[in-house]
Structure 1
Amino acid sequence: MANTAQARKRARQSVKVNAHNAALRSTLRTAIKKVIKAIQTGDKAAAVASYQENVSVIDRIADKKIIHKNKAARHKSRLTAAIKALSGDTPATLASVKKAAAPKAEAAPAKKAAKPRAKKAAE
């Protein structure tokens, strides 16, 4: 437990800030899902309109430093590539967009080290 008045106040503030940031992260995820859903319908016009509506949400949350600006740029780039792929301009696939929106899976298992071979004893 916090011992000083300052530490108690910071503890109270951090609870409120954490809740606010969590709500903003949820808004970001929802915005990305809306664009992905529009892309999955296959209608390029609807996907572009959805992207234009939600890109400002992504930028706004990056400006508030809820997510890093490079992460925001990565999301926007992958969504744009998926939208361009609808008309066949780029060979990008929607699978890369789904991976970006999905939670991270476990890391790939490391390669097994080669077993040392037993040397035959020279007799």
Structure 2
Amino acid sequence: MANHVSSEKRARQTEVRRLRNRANMSAMKTTVKKVLEAVQKKDFSNIDALLRDAQSVIAKTRQKGSIHKNNMARRISRLNAFVNKARNAQ
């Protein structure tokens, strides 16, 4: 447990940030999961909108500082590659 005023404040800040990051990550994972499910169901009619939303949420998660910029780039790249591969396979 924290013994100093400054360390108590730091503990409070850390907890708030942890919860905020957790919510951001959860939202990001949910949107990515929607895209993956649409590809699995071969529902290519609305996949462009889902992919655009997922890219936006991933970028916003980066903007809020929950993930590193290379992590954002890798996630978006892999998601695009997955969708493009599924489109070409049909």
TM bin, normalised by shorter chain, reads 0.7 to 0.9
Query: 1:55 is matched with which residue?
Result: 55
Deviations 1:87-109 (A, max 9, x none): 32xx7xxxxxxxxxxxxxxxxxx
Unaligned runs of 5+ in 2: none
Matched to 1:38, the amino acid is A
Structure 1: 5+ residue stretches without partners: 92-123
Inter-partner Cα distance in structure 2 for 1:47 and 1:2:
49
Q: What is the TM-score normalised by the length of structure 2?
A: 0.85
| TM-score computed with the length of structure 1 as normaliser | 0.65
Residue 95 of structure 1 corresponds to none
Note the aligned Cα RMSD (angstroms). Answer: 1.6
Q: Which has the higher helix share?
A: 2
Moved over 3 A (4+): none
Indicate conservation of the 8 Å contact 1:44/1:86, yes or no.
no
Q: Which has the higher contact order (CA 8 A, sep 6+)?
A: 2
- Check whether the contact 1:31–1:57 (CA below 8 A) recurs between aligned residues: yes
* Identity within the alignment, %: 37
Task: Specify the structure having the higher radius of gyration (Cα).
Answer: 1
